[in-house]
Chains A and B, each alone.
Chain A
Amino acid sequence: MLIALMIWVAIIVFSLTLGTFLCFRIEKHGVKRWGATGSLFRYEPKREE
């Protein structure tokens, strides 16, 4: 039981880590069209930008 739940939880943690890493890569590229906003989890550029 515990093994099955741990596999599931590990995958959830992996998903959130991978997503964060990809957002970081997008910011690093700095391409606004791809979603770079200057903030890791902000998904829309500020209007003045």
Chain B
Amino acid sequence: MLYLIVLGFYMCFIVWTSIKSLKQAESMTDFTTGGHRMGLLLGIGTTTATWVSVASVMGVPGYLYSNGVSAIIGWVAGWFLATALIPLVAYKIRRPETPARTFPEYIHHRFEPFRKVSHLRTIVGTLMFIGYFLFVHLQVVGFGIVFATITGIDYQFAIFAFLIFLLFTSIGGFWSVAATDTLNTILIVVGVILGGGAVLAATGGWQNIIDTISTTTSPTIVGGEAIPEGSMITPVGTFGLGALFAIFISNSLGATVSPHWVTRMLAPKNIKVAVLQIMGSILILTAIFIPLIIMGLGAKTLIPSLPAGKTTDYIIPVIVQEYAPPLVGAMTLVALCAAAVSSANSMLLHCATSLYYDVYLNIFPKKKINEKKFNMNLRIGMFVIAIFAVVSAITPPWFLAMGFTYVYGGFGAVFFLVVVLGLYWKRMNRAGAYVSMLTGFFTYILAQVIGLTNPFLIAVSASLVGVLLVVFFTKKPPVEAYEPYFKADVSESTKQTIKDIQNKTDNNITSVNSKDTRKNA
């Protein structure tokens, strides 16, 4: 009962913040990147909440429970390295006086600045839609597991409750997402610290946890295969060095160039705020992951094997319900819900924006629409996508954390070179971008289908070879394409080119009742 009351309070909080933010009229730029004026505190809050998804709070403890400390290297260290490298993207991508508003818009400007209809932008928008749909799908799965645990409703029905949360958190656009994210971050920090403390107390202390994982051979699932003694304490675990390295590299390099992180770097008011927001987030994330590691490893001491029919993604809800005091358990489970909601709303926004703004309006540049209608269409789009994501999650196909690794690997395979070389190598051109993206995409899919150990690394290597061959045999890019990312002051023709690209879409979207209601984040 207490679980339901705490969940009810959380639901009221979501509804209240969303309705409040709805009263703020948002321009199209506000809706997508917050108008490039986000301050540090809100930036840290929204970055942390987007970062912490169900893969972090349920998937990673699940792998810690089944595979031991090797999950720290594969996922925790991998994602932290990604976060550490994101400032290198921020340092360059925020240089233009009027930065891009979406990731595909950056691709358009950097590689096809004079094209009215950018095919590269369409390809990027479409791939983003697919990737973020899968991400939202995974959040729905995680939410469904927690909601089913709290309410006792069947998972297949519990997932539909997610629509209520998504409806409210997504309708307000970027600022609504940022505001609820910041409060979700506080809930997540409090919830996991309480949960970690409860598990530590129940196990009898850290030394007991270490002793158990050093000697246990209990199978992960009742009736399953016994795990080798000592494997949970070794850095490689039962993964094997090659597989663990593949997971680490996909999570680190793949996540660094994921479009939602690139877009997040477009929201802060300047480059330094973007860098500082990542540094601040790293500190908060450390405070979140210490209790998560304690919970994941401690669970092996408390529940040596999960009952048949449950996946390791259930370990945190199960352990919290059985071993934490009711209020602490409720707070921890609400923290898991907050992690799902805060990541899903942000990813839904990317999903709908890429499809509507970067694909549809790019292909049909003559469509006229006012700003109010634009925002309304985006909201409808988000809700429709959310419905599809929920329906697709009725039969969950993946483990949460591994699902993220696959998508991050895919994003990295396709976008790594267009982001890194596009920002740091003047010579990188349009032909190179096409070759890099298409080679990366098809090689990654092929490597996954064949079952090779490191599809991400193979795809990026193949892309790099293709890019180097193509770039030196084709024309240099025009100065308008790279100048803003390398110089503080740019030529008049470059300024005009950026203006033309942004006006192209702005001409479709005429401003009605748009006023900047917030001067500062």
Return the contact of B69 from the options A4, A11, A14, A15 (Cβ within 8 A): A4
B190 proximity list for chain A (CB < 8 A): none
Do A8 and B210 have beta carbons less than 8 Å apart? no
Contact mask for chain A residues 1-12; partner B; CB cutoff 8 A; 1 contact, 0 none? 101110110011
Return the contact of A26 from the options B73, B81, B272, B282 (Cβ within 8 A): B272
Do A35 and B270 have beta carbons less than 8 Å apart? yes
CB distance from A28 to the nearest CB of B (A): 12
Do A29 and B69 have beta carbons less than 8 Å apart? no
In Å, the complex CA distance between A37 and B69 comes to: 43
- A interface secondary structure, majority: helix
Do A25 and B270 have beta carbons less than 8 Å apart? no
Do B72 and A43 have beta carbons less than 8 Å apart? no
Q: Please name 22 pairs of A and B residues whose Cβ atoms are closer than 8 Å in the assembled complex, sorted by A.
A: A1-B233, A7-B73, A7-B77, A8-B72, A8-B80, A11-B81, A12-B84, A15-B80, A16-B279, A16-B282, A18-B84, A18-B85, A19-B276, A19-B279, A20-B279, A22-B88, A25-B91, A26-B275, A31-B488, A33-B97, A37-B272, A43-B270
A1 proximity list for chain B (CB < 8 A): 69, 210, 233, 235
Residues of B within 8 A of A (CB): 39-40, 69-70, 72-73, 76-77, 80-81, 83-85, 87-88, 90-91, 94-95, 97, 210, 233, 235, 269-273, 275-276, 278-279, 282, 286, 488
B76 proximity list for chain A (CB < 8 A): 8
B233 proximity list for chain A (CB < 8 A): 1
Do B282 and A15 have beta carbons less than 8 Å apart? yes
CB distance from A13 to the nearest CB of B (A): 9
Residues of A within 8 A of B (CB): 1, 3-5, 7-8, 11-12, 14-16, 18-20, 22-23, 25-26, 29, 31, 33-37, 41, 43-44
In Å, the complex CA distance between A41 and B85 comes to: 19
User: Chain A residue with minimal CB distance to B252?
Assistant: A11
Question: Known contacts A15-B84, A19-B87, A31-B488; is A4 also within 8 Å of B275 by CB?
Answer: no
User: Chain A residue with minimal CB distance to B76?
Assistant: A8
Question: Known contacts A8-B76, A18-B84; is A34 also within 8 Å of B279 by CB?
Answer: no
Q: Which 10 A-B pairs have the closest CB atoms?
A: A35-B272, A15-B84, A35-B270, A19-B279, A4-B72, A4-B69, A3-B235, A34-B271, A11-B80, A8-B77
